[in-house]
Amino acid sequence: MRSSYDLGRGSVPPLPQPARLTRGEDGADGADGKEASLTKPEAGVKAEVESVRTVCSYCGVGCGILLDIGRDASTGRRIAKKVSGDRTHPANSGRLCTKGATSADMMAAPGRAAKALIRAERGADPVEADVDAAITAVAGRLRAIVDEHGPDALALYVSGQMSLEAQYLANKLAKGFVRTSRIESNSRLCMASAGSGYKLSLGADGPLAPTGTSTGPMSSSSSARTWPTATRSSSSG
């Protein structure tokens, strides 16, 4: 039986590559106007750094960030060394909240899965496996469920901290390939509290436009200055 991995191989056009910058070409500020340096270079990490322009994955504001990517000399793995705000991005103009400014810590946190693991049967201990073999095994089990119970027997629970590209692929997998309508995210619980927090603190149930814009409850005539961000009072995450 061919897996979803095999069926999709070679049939999906490659995604556009994110813009890559040489560090120093594009200035960037973090929270409070300071560069958001997150992690000190670890021993064995090469000095070469590649800056990748992308979008913060924490909330729906979509702030632009610059990720400094390096490689661990001992393993060769790409690691996120530092994140800073993208001054050219219209959503945040280089500013970042605490969550965005510390997102490199999340991406480099210990305990993240680095290898494929398979359970031979329910309740068994997971064992390391080849990535292609693991994907094929998972696809076979999911296919058996769909064949017996229909596509809505499968549900995907994703994370609001996934990248935009990963969210897109998860939706394509669920709705376009598996044909299930059952996909949910932890973002619903997070934003349920966010709506209440925004209303209580700012009077509106969504991120507000920066001071100086003509839209939103806070305009250039307002005395308080805010920036669109997942403020502490608005988020459970």
Closest by Cα among 86, 83, 112 to 98: 83
Residue type, 10: G
Q: Show the tokens assigned to 184.
A: 């949910």
43-81 core/surface letters (b: 16 or more CB in 10 A; e: else): eebeeebebbbbbbbbbebbbbbbbbbbbeeeeeeebbb
Strands 183-185, 156-158: pairing is: parallel
Structural domains in the chain, CATH included, are 20-107 (3.30.200.210), 187-234 (no CATH)
Q: What integer pLDDT is reported at residue 81 of this predicted model?
A: 86
pLDDT of residue 72: 76
One digit per residue, the tens of pLDDT, for the chain of length 237 reads 443 333 333 333 343 444 444 343 344 444 444 444 333 444 544 457 888 999 887 777 889 999 999 887 777 888 888 999 999 999 899 999 998 999 888 877 777 777 899 988 888 999 999 999 999 998 999 999 999 999 999 999 988 777 778 889 999 999 999 999 999 888 777 777 878 888 888 888 765 655 444 444 444 444 444 444 444 444 444
Cβ burial, residue 170 (10 Å; 0-12/13-18/19+): middle
